[in-house]
């Protein structure tokens, strides 16, 4: 299955919107008595209608066939909230001293002034995902004796995922990308990819994107790993995975810190 078919499949997943959760009184008097608190406080996937549940089951079964080694670990990463989405705010750049003329500061060209960064729409900035290693998370949680360097070593277990350029910094993605270089796409699939448009804005999706990246040239099979599949699910269906994703609006300096391996310093 090519990237265009996967994009269409994920578009169908993005159109599934959970129903409103039951009232608090119903949770206290009904569900908690019979099923307990864990069953009563279920996620968005358990709040779909009957028809949407059947459609979601069909989509996930298809994804499991296409990604037999990546889908379940990706869902586990989302379930454990190990995925962080960073949105770079379009902040203003301060002019340097050379821009001062006659005591007045001339604003630099092509700079967007932002009065209230909290009011910036989430879709207005560049997006990058960081996925923490599940093994590193278990080791950090189970360790009883932590040294003063344990926090710094934990930050090094974050893998950077770029969906536009379709890249992940983990070794598994590098191996998958190398293997895909030797695989030719099925006959007629490449011609179909040339006429495929990315997913555009909709009430249930963020800005336009495409499986396999919008800044890549697809000449073969699309490489994948569990980290990039987790980011794709969070990007394609934000209503279904909004509780499984930590989203932050950051400045460019903080993005550089994350890319340098110091993203968690200062609190995550």
The per-residue DSSP string of 175-237 comes to HHHHHHTTPPPPTTHHHHHHTPPPB--BTTB-S-B-TT-SSS---SPPP--HHHHHHHHHHH-
Half-sphere exposure in the Cβ direction for 136 (13 Å, CA): 14
Residue segments in the chain with a per-residue pLDDT below the cut of 50: 25-29, 31-40, 92-101, 104, 106-120, 122, 144-145, 147-155, 192-207, 265-268
User: pLDDT value at position 73?
Assistant: 96
Burial class (CB in 10 A: 0-12, 13-18, 19+), 101: exposed
Q: Which candidate, 236, 225, 252, 247, places its Cα nearest to that of 94?
A: 252
Residue 167's pLDDT is what? Answer: 94
Q: Is the Cβ–Cβ distance between 236 and 88 less than 8 Å?
A: no
Q: What is the pLDDT of residue 98?
A: 44
Q: Judge if pTM exceeds 0.85.
A: no
- Cα–Cα distance for residue pair 11/17, rounded to 1 Å: 12
Distance CA 105, CA 144 (A): 55
Select from 165, 164, 159 the least CA-distant residue to 226: 159
Residue 210 is predicted with a pLDDT of: 84
**Residue 47 confidence (pLDDT):** 87
The string of DSSP letters for 86-136 reads EEE--PPPPP-GGGEETTEEPPPTT----S-GGGS-GGGS-EEEEEE-HHH
In angstroms, rounded to a whole number, what is the distance separating the alpha carbons of residues 166 and 214? 8
The CA–CA distances, whole Å, from 198 to 3, 6, 19, 121, 225 equal: 10, 11, 27, 21, 21
Q: How far is CA 13 from the centre of its chain?
A: 15
* Contacts for 178 with CB less than 8 Å, ≥ 6 apart: none
pLDDT of residue 115: 42
Average pLDDT, the chain: 72
pLDDT value of residue 209: 73
Quote the pLDDT of residue 146: 52
**CA–CA dist 93, 228 (Å, integer):** 32
Helix (H) or strand (E) holding 11: helix 3-14
Instruction: State the pLDDT at residue 81.
Output: 93
């Amino acid at each position: 299955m090519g990237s265009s078919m996967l994009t269409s499949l994920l578009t169908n997943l993005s159109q599934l919107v959970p129903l409103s959760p039951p009232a608090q009184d119903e949770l206290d008097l009904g569900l908690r008595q019979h099923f307990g608190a864990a069953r009563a406080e279920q996620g968005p996937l358990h709040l779909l209608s009957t028809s949407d549940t059947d459609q979601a089951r069909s989509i996930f079964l298809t994804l499991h066939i296409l990604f037999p080694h990546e889908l379940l670990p990706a869902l586990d990463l989302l379930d454990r909230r190990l995925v962080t989405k960073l949105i770079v705010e379009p902040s203003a750049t301060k002019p340097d001293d050379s821009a001062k003329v006659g005591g007045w500061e001339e604003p630099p060209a092509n700079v967007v002034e932002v009065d209230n960064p909290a009011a910036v729409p989430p879709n207005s900035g560049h997006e990058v995902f960081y996925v923490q290693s599940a093994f590193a998370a278990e080791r950090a949680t189970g360790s009883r004796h932590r040294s003063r360097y344990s926090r710094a070593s934990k930050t090094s277990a974050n893998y950077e995922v770029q969906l536009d350029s379709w890249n992940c910094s983990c070794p598994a993605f590098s191996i998958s990308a190398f293997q895909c270089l030797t695989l030719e796409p099925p006959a007629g699939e490449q011609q179909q990819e040339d006429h495929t448009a990315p997913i555009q804005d909709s009430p249930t999706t963020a800005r336009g994107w495409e499986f396999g990246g919008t800044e890549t040239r697809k000449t073969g099979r699309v490489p994948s790993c569990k980290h990039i599949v987790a980011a794709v699910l969070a990007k394609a269906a934000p209503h279904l995975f909004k509780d499984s994703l930590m989203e932050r609006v950051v400045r460019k300096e903080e993005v550089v810190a994350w890319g340098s391996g110091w993203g968690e310093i200062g609190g995550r």
